Amino acid sequence: MPAQYGPEAVPRNKYLAQREVLDWSVRLKGVDSPQRHLVVPVLEDVAWMNPRRPTDWSVEVGRVNRSEGGGRSRSAEPVDLMIANIGELLVCPPGGLDLGLIPNAVVAVRDGRVAWVGPARRASAAVRLGPETVVFNAGGRVVMPGLVECHTHLGFAGHRAAEFQARVAGWSYDEIAAGGGGVLATVRATRTAHREQLLRNVRCHLDTMLGFGITTVEAKSGYGLTVEDELRLLEVYREVDRSHAVDIVPTLLAAHVVPMEYRGRPDRYVDLVVEEIIPEVAQKRLATFCDVYCDQGFFDLDHSRRILEAARANGMLLTLHGDQMADSGGAVLAAELEAVSASRLEQVGEEGIERLAEAGVVAQLLPGTRLSLGRSEFAPARRLMDNGVKVALSTDFNPGTCYTENLWLMGTMASCYMHMDVTEVVRALTCHAAASLSLDTEVGSLQAGHKADVVVLDMDDHLQIPYHFGINPVRAVFKNGTLTVDHREKRTQL
């Protein structure tokens, strides 16, 4: 096993011989017990914080400044937060191919942004602590960016548990839909739900996601399918986004299915979407993205192109569901229209893959839906990646075909069924998921300047991320540099 993966990466005695003397009697917060093989000194060991020997820890976002005389860095402001005692830091640089793994690391935060990351031995020359700096002891654990959940159907009422049992009994998705189930069952429940109920539901699901370390969530409409009901869902997202810790990226999915009142008249429903829903949503700035379900049995290529071109003309970014049921040209259309992302893609062909790569479209793959539907064929992640397509992973959280908020589980499924290794999985849950939302300069990475959305895991080896599945590995979550989830009292690491 490579040395960087074990405690032998930076021996404790070697580090202790090199450590600097700190200058501040800092206010310690969140210090807990050290692990058996820490690679850095524990913060409660106050003997190494000696105010009689001032050391000027300082940093500017993105670079370290050196003072003229003593070689020390100088900065006007101390950091607000220092996460220390990190066993493995996964930076997840958006422009790279690796995890940017730094053993024995420190993360410094100022004004809600990452100010500096690097080896602990360099921190004394790069980071300035002040009397109000909060120091969090990661206890030798893995620290990584907050997860980016890039594809959800977050706002709805009711559930479809009976449909799950129908599938267990052998009913197909089409048979369930023909019997009044499927997406339209959720549309009926959502249209009749009170606004307060929708607000509660969205907040509840976001609370669960935040507990799993998810700090940014894309949220689609699509269970209203009228002007009034689509706007209402997007307005719910806006209201929740103003008060909840998780950032919501709203997406208009009025072209989810053709509603019952327009059955047999898809052209008329597309007219409604293009001429009324999209302009209203754009005028009120309720959606960042527009999505369309471009697939066999949903919206054809001509309808999809018309909807997406109207959305682009109204200032929205583009994404689409495509090539799930058949290789119906969805990926090619996404590339043609320069969409940011395309999702599903279980049946995408070679031309679609080549076009996605050429256009730089990110593939959002949703393995949880295949599990929930009892399907054995998964999206061709390896072919996509081998041809240069960035791959993101998502739950596709929805009440019908993937009712789970556990994004970590998608990483395990991607490893087992789509042959993605741990590096590819972690990047797919962070920086590539952020790229699929055009947010890779803001979230999904712990490079300097990014939002300080940080997750501390209850493990000391990142190889355990897809390996220990079905559980919540999160110990603590920082959102914009503020401790938002704290599971330390509930957990004992193995």
CATH number (domain holding residue 204): 3.20.20.140
**Run of H or E including 415:** helix 407-418
pLDDT score, position 265: 97
Q: Are residues 327 and 471 in the same domain?
A: no
Residue 478 falls inside a structural domain: yes
- Determine the Cα–Cα distance for residues 101 and 80; give it in Å rounded to an integer: 23
Burial class of residue 269 (count of CB atoms within 10 Å of its CB; 0-12, 13-18, 19+): buried
DSSP codes joined into one string, 348-367: --HHHHHHHHHHTPEEEE-H
Q: Are residues 430 and 285 in the same domain?
A: yes
Q: Are residues 187 and 325 in the same domain?
A: yes
Residue 202 falls inside a structural domain: yes
Residue 492, C-beta contacts closer than 8 angstroms, at least 6 positions apart: none
Outline where DSSP puts E strands in 24-73.
27-28
Residue 444 falls inside a structural domain: no
Read off the DSSP letter of residue 224: -
Q: Are residues 183 and 66 in the same domain?
A: no
Read off the DSSP letter of residue 451: B
pLDDT score, position 457: 98
Read off the DSSP letter of residue 245: S
DSSP codes joined into one string, 413-449: HHHHHH---HHHHHHHHTHHHHHTTT-TTTSS--STT
Helix (H/G/I), strand (E/B), else coil: 389:
coil
Domain boundary (404, 435, 466) is at: 435
Q: Are residues 137 and 103 in the same domain?
A: yes
- Determine the Cα–Cα distance for residues 236 and 196; give it in Å rounded to an integer: 9
Q: Are residues 358 and 271 in the same domain?
A: yes
* Residue 348: Cβ within 10 Å count: 28
8 Å CB contact between 51 and 25: yes
Residue 238 falls inside a structural domain: yes
Helix (H/G/I), strand (E/B), else coil: 477:
strand
Would you write out the chain's pLDDT as a tens digit for each of its 494 residues? Answer: 333 323 333 333 322 223 222 322 233 333 333 332 333 333 333 222 222 222 222 333 333 332 222 223 435 589 999 999 999 999 999 998 999 999 999 999 999 999 999 999 999 999 999 999 999 999 999 999 999 999 999 999 999 999 999 999 999 888 888 888 899 999 999 999 999 999 999 999 999 999 999 999 999 999 999 999 999 999 999 999 999 999 999 999 999 999 999 999 999 999 999 999 999 999 999 999 999 999 988 999 999 999 999 999 999 999 999 999 899 999 999 999 999 999 999 999 999 999 999 999 999 999 999 999 999 899 999 999 999 999 999 999 999 999 999 999 999 999 999 999 999 999 999 999 999 999 999 999 999 999 999 999 999 999 999 999 999 999 999 999 999 999 987 765 54
Residue 318 falls inside a structural domain: yes
Q: What is the CATH number of the domain that holds 88?
A: 2.30.40.10
Q: Are residues 56 and 154 in the same domain?
A: no
Q: Are residues 311 and 200 in the same domain?
A: yes
Residue 25 falls inside a structural domain: yes
Give me the domain span that covers residue 235: 147-435
Distance of CA 215 to the CA centre of its chain: 7
Which is nearest to 183 in space by CA: 191, 363, 266, 198?
Answer: 191
Strand 142-145 relative to strand 454-457, pairing: antiparallel
Residue 137 falls inside a structural domain: yes
Q: Are residues 294 and 250 in the same domain?
A: yes
Q: Are residues 229 and 271 in the same domain?
A: yes
Tokens representing residue 155 in the block: 């706002």
Number of domain units in the chain: 2
Residue 313, C-beta contacts closer than 8 angstroms, at least 6 positions apart: none
**Run of H or E including 114:** strand 113-119
Residue 442 falls inside a structural domain: no
8 Å CB contact between 118 and 102: yes
The gap between the terminal CA atoms of the chain, to the nearest Å, is: 20
Tokens representing residue 164 in the block: 């799950």
* Residue 261: Cβ within 10 Å count: 10
Distance of CA 482 to the CA centre of its chain: 18
Q: Are residues 188 and 124 in the same domain?
A: no
Q: Are residues 405 and 476 in the same domain?
A: no
